[in-house]
Amino acid sequence: MIVAIVGPTGVGKTKLSIELAKKYNAIIINADAMQVYIGMDIGTAKIKEEEKEGIPHYLFDKSDVRDNYTVYDYQQDARELIEKFKDRNIIFVGGTGLYLKAALYSYEFRKEDTTKNNYEDLTNDEIYALALKKDPNMNIHKNNRKRLVRFLNKETENTKKAEPLYPAIYIGLTCDRNVLYDRINNRVDEMFKEGLVEEVKSFYDQNINSKAIKTAIGYKELYQYFEGSISLEEAKDLIKKNSRHYAKRQYTWFNNQMDITWFNVDFKNFNNTIKEVEKYINERRK
């Protein structure tokens, strides 16, 4: 059995994955594009070692932050794990929809189109809007014109037409939008208390300017602070804003790309949510 737990940050995906893994004797595979990187812990809300409760976790801390671990790399690694543990229950958990799509669907990568469009007649904002239309989960900065043009020229399979390769149960966690935004804001405050500034500063001091650092929310904003272009408070507010916007794009992507069954999280008694999801899974397994 394969279960995929999706949704935005702060809704309880990690906690649910642990409980389900204990219930179904499952392994857990990361489906978050930034949690694959070693050292990007606080800013990605990566599960702590003591929280794993002895459950095997895979594709966390997979790559050095200086390297570019691609969705193609993830596809290969995830499918290798699916084959290796085909006799075990597997739980994917994370908010990067494209990673899940690549792993579990007939998602293929194609060579870049030889006919290039340089989009010279468009502004950065217009190019950025086109890129978001192509993939709402895209996280290239709007001022990085070169990368945006390359992204638009890159031809990939229409993922809406991709067919599932594995029978899987897709669980989405959600809640009231205002509640979610409050939780995201509070989570960012907690990250700062836990040492986010120090974590990111360690990369900055090593002069690391990799793709992961430049695109990850919480890291790219603090780099702006270290470079003196914004204040620390402005960086924190920007992290909150970008996190909220990313959550909104995540919902759009999942609703358009996958057959998700959504569950409203009971934050006052999370056990109610666990039981509700377990009941649904057991019914699907019959």
Q: What is the CATH number of the domain that holds 26?
A: 3.40.50.300
Of all residues in the chain, what percent carry a pLDDT higher than 90?
71
DSSP 8-state assignment for residue 63:
B
Together in a domain, 161 and 280:
yes
* pTM for this entry: 0.81
Question: Domain boundary at 130, 155, 180, which?
Answer: 155
Q: Which residue from 166, 197, 179 is spatially nearest to 267, judged by alpha carbons?
A: 179
**For residue 177, what are its two tokens?**
């939008």
Question: What mean pLDDT, rounded, does the chain reach?
Answer: 90
Together in a domain, 224 and 257:
yes
Q: Is the pLDDT of residue 16 over 90?
A: yes
**Rg of the chain over all Cα atoms, to the nearest angstrom:** 19
Q: Domains in the chain: how many in total? A: 2
Average pLDDT rounded to a whole number, residues 177-188: 94
Q: Is the pLDDT of residue 114 over 60?
A: no
H-helix segments, the chain = 13-24, 71-84, 97-104, 124-134, 145-153, 177-194, 196-205, 211-215, 220-226, 232-257, 270-285
Using one digit for the tens of pLDDT, what is the confidence trace for 230-248?
Answer: 999 999 999 999 999 999 9
| Structure confidence at residue 160 (pLDDT) | 46
Model confidence band, residue 168 (pLDDT cutoffs 50, 70, 90): very high
Q: Is the pLDDT of residue 117 over 80?
A: no
**For residue 10, what are its two tokens?**
């702060």
Distance CA 96, CA 33 (A): 6
Q: Is the pLDDT of residue 156 over 60?
A: no
DSSP 8-state assignment for residue 50:
G
Which residues have a Cβ under 8 Å from the Cβ of 152 and sit 6 or more positions away?
A: 117, 119, 127, 130, 131, 134
Together in a domain, 48 and 186:
yes
Together in a domain, 56 and 72:
yes
Which residues have a Cβ under 8 Å from the Cβ of 159 and sit 6 or more positions away?
A: 98, 101, 105, 107, 257
Distance CA 43, CA 203 (A): 12
| Structure confidence at residue 116 (pLDDT) | 59
Together in a domain, 37 and 75:
yes
Together in a domain, 71 and 183:
yes
Q: Are 180 and 31 in contact (CB under 8 A)?
A: no
Q: Which residue has the higher pLDDT, 95 or 114?
A: 95
**For residue 18, what are its two tokens?**
């642990």
- Domain housing 131: 110-155
Model confidence band, residue 157 (pLDDT cutoffs 50, 70, 90): very low
Q: Which residue has the higher pLDDT, 242 or 107?
A: 242
| Structure confidence at residue 155 (pLDDT) | 54
